């Protein structure tokens, strides 16, 4: 079975899965993380929006109104591995650009689209040590957070490679 690309799949995560939702966004999966509220609303919004609902709640997992995956573990590594196995999910943390220069990867904070940001504009806002050797930046269209490929991103990639090797 071929690995499922980021574009083909969307998630909604329950309030127990904040960390997993951040990781999925960074990996490029459109992941909704609604504020805590009634289960019914969580299920309905996932269903209407055609999102796979990820939950740690066994009652929620029984719904027939949305596609659901019951997440078995509390550990992020095992959670990602479970999704990789059940959905043939592609776990690839590399930064990938669309044709318009936006990233496939999404903002971990708010799920926003990361748009290219001219270096001159970015360099007014990033730390000295970064602007000295980074010339390519993206900015979240949702929360304005600025991203670049650097040590933080290398750590994320390393983590993902480790998780994949443990499979
Ligand atoms: Zn954002």
Q: For the chain, what's the residue count?
A: 167
For ligand 1, the distance from its centroid to the CA atom of residue 78, given in whole angstroms, is 26
Q: Which residue has the higher pLDDT, 151 or 110?
A: 110
The pLDDT tens digits of the residues spanning 102-130 come to: 999 999 999 999 999 999 999 999 999 99
User: Is 0.75 surpassed by the pTM of this model?
Assistant: yes
- The Å distance, Cα 64 to ligand 1 centre, comes to 32
CA 67–ligand 1 middle distance (angstroms): 26
The distance from CA 72 to its chain's CA centroid, rounded to whole angstroms, is 19
Question: Does 3 score more than 70 pLDDT?
Answer: no
CA atoms within 13 A on the CB side of 64: 0
Each domain of the chain, given as residue ranges in start order, spans 6-87, 96-148
CATH of domain 6-87: 3.40.50
Ligand 1 center–CA 113 separation, angstroms:
7
Model pLDDT for residues 77-92, shown as the tens digit of each residue? 999 999 999 998 889 8
């Amino acid at each position: 079975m071929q690995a499922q690309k980021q574009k083909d799949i969307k998630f909604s995560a329950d309030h127990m899965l904040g960390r997993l939702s951040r990781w999925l966004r960074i990996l490029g999966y459109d992941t909704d993380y609604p504020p805590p509220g009634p289960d019914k609303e969580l299920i309905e919004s996932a269903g209407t929006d055609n999102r796979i609902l990820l939950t740690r709640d066994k009652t929620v997992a029984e719904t027939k109104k949305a596609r659901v995956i019951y997440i078995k573990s509390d550990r992020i590594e095992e959670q990602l591995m479970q999704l990789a196995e059940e959905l043939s999910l592609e776990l690839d943390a590399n930064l990938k650009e669309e044709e318009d220069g936006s990233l496939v990867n999404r903002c971990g904070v708010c799920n926003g689209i990361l748009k290219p940001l001219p270096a001159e504009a970015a360099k007014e806002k990033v730390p000295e040590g970064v602007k000295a050797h980074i010339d390519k930046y993206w900015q979240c269209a949702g929360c304005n957070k600025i991203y670049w490929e650097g040590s933080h991103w290398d750590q994320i990639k390393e983590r993902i490679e480790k998780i994949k090797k443990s499979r």
